[in-house]
Each structure stands twice: as structure tokens, then as C-alpha cells.
Amino acid sequence: MVRKGYHHGNLKQALVEATIKLIEEKGPSGFTLSEAAKLAGVSAAAPYRHFKGREDLIAEVARQGFEIFADLLEFARAKGNGSTLSAFESVGRAYLAFARKYPGHYIAMFESGVSINANPELAAVANRAMNVLIQSAEDLTKHLPSGKRPPASMVSQHVWALAHGVVELFARGEPGARSPFSPEDLLESGLGIYLRGLGILPEDK
């Protein structure tokens, strides 16, 4: 069990932690609210003190995940130490690290079908995470000629799609696609090809 019981005031987080475990084991649609309550060591009625239903509980897992995700991306960007390229690459690697370390949160955020924009708190923190990618892309592309400079939001979404694809295919430890290359190498080489195409990296780098 996640908890044998819960301390006063911690019911909500006990249910969140139980839900994370169930998502990792069964997927976001493979369990009921009653199962989450049982795993948390509370009655079947207890979750309704904080959540309208299972989807509401999954949305809270996603919200907490985006908080961690945004903090991790901001820290990774700061590690660039003034180098826009290093910061950009560090943010990409942080995406892989987050997916590996927090699989339950990751699934709730990106694979559960949760409606981000329907929840103001969830939307706000998701936008904070995305803004780190956008700012990193803006810093990296601002020296390109205006006629050859794609919108920073587009660049950030290209990088997001690349990192997300590497995670889904090669970094989740699930059966299916296999590669002789590590997820980190796949992401780094993919970013290199993309940045050379933009003219940010020279052809021989």
C-alpha cells in the first residue's frame, strides 16, 4: 500500500501518490477511484472530499507533474552558464530525464487525455513549462537574419516533438522499438541536424 493511513490534512496528497502508482502500473484509464482510495488506505468515499472523480484526480497528478517539469526545465536552462546553445541542449536532456524519473506524472500530463485548458491552474503551470522552451528557442535564434528566423514558438514545438518522440519510442523502457543508440544520443544528433538546418550550427559541427 502507498500508505497504511494518512495524517490529518494529507488525504489529498495520499490519493495523488496512490494514483501515480496506479497510472504507472495500469495506465491512466486502467483503474477506478475506489482503487486509488483503497491503495491510499482510505474509504471509497474519502476522495470526494477533494476530487469530483478520477479525471479530476489525474488532472491534479498532471498539475503537480508540470510544476516539477517546469522547475526542472528552468534549472536546466540556467545550467547553460550564459551559452544559449548549452542551455538549449540542457533543456532537451531535461525532458528525457523527467520522463524517466517521473513516469506516472509524465503519463498523466501527456497521455491521459486530460484537458489542460479546462483547468486554469493546470494551464498556468503547463504554460510556464512551455515558456522555458520558447525562451530558450528565442535566445538561440535571435541572431539569425529576420528573413530566415522561424518563430521561437515554432522552434520550441519542433524540439518538443523531437524530445517527445524519443521518449515515446526509446526512453520509456517499454517493449517495441529498439535502437543501438541511447535516447540522449538520438536527441543530441537530432537537435544537431535541426540546428544546422536553421544555420545555427556550422555544417562541420
Write down the domain spans for the chain.
1-51, 58-198
Please work out, in degrees rounded to the nearest 5, the angle formed at the alpha carbon of residue 100 by the alpha carbons of 95 and 101: 100
User: What are the Cα distances from residue 87, in Å, to 61, 96, 158?
Assistant: 28, 15, 16
- CATH architecture of the domain with residue range 58-198: Orthogonal Bundle (1.10)
Whether pLDDT at 106 is above 50: yes
Percent of the chain exceeding pLDDT 90 equals 48
- Per residue in 141-160, pLDDT (tens digit) is 888 888 888 999 999 999 99
**Torsion angle (degrees, nearest 10) of CA 186, 191, 194, 197:** -110
Residue in the block written with cell 523502457: 173
Q: Do domains 1-51 and 58-198 have the same CATH topology?
A: no
In the structure grid, which three cell numbers stand for residue 107, read together? 503519463
Find all residues with CB under 8 Å of 94, minimum gap 6, and list them. 72, 73, 75, 76
Q: Which CATH number fits domain 1-51: 1.20.1070, 2.60.40, 1.10.10, 1.10.3470?
A: 1.10.10
